[in-house]
Homo-oligomer: A and B are copies of this chain.
Amino acid sequence: MPAFQPIGIIRSPFTRKDQTPIQPYRSQAAGRIELLPDYEGGLDGLEGFSHVILLYFFHHAEPGYDLIVTPYLDKEPHGLFATRYPRRPNAIGLSVVRLLRREGNTLHVEGIDVLDGTPLLDIKPYVPPFDAFPEATMGWLEGRT
């Protein structure tokens, strides 16, 4: 597997982990996705999508992981892969955010939930037939979001 490299940086109002919302639906925070200038052409046509999926590196997560964790939203321990906890074997984070507008290589977004300076790995268009399952059940998170 090749080494992954950041393609840009995520700008947010959150500079401390304890100020950062747990997930985007709790956040109305505005942020910016600053793509490295070389990639700007790859954004063409993204303006038609109201939401985008961000993949990023949890750069503030300490290295390593525990297979059983007690996440922020619960007091009970759960398997790591049943949580969105940042300390993971591959510390890749995923957030769906609302795309407000594009300005050159910058995307203005809303509902950001990551730390300022987070390295961006990928941007994908959010496509409801692929990605939206509003009736999905959510295990231990039921009633906790």
- Nearest-CB residue, chain B, relative to A59: B1
Q: A23-B130, A51-B136 are in contact. List 20 more A-B contacts (CB 8 A).
A: A1-B119, A24-B130, A39-B89, A42-B82, A43-B82, A44-B78, A46-B81, A47-B139, A49-B137, A49-B138, A50-B136, A50-B138, A53-B94, A81-B125, A84-B125, A125-B139, A125-B141, A127-B136, A129-B145, A131-B132
* Chain A contact patch, size range: 35 or more
Q: How many copies does the complex hold?
A: 2
Write the residues of chain A forming the contact surface with B, with a CB cutoff of 8 angstroms.
Answer: 1-7, 23-25, 35, 39, 41-51, 53, 55, 57, 59, 63, 67-68, 78-84, 88-92, 94-96, 119, 121-142, 145
CA distance A24 to B129 in the complex (A): 9
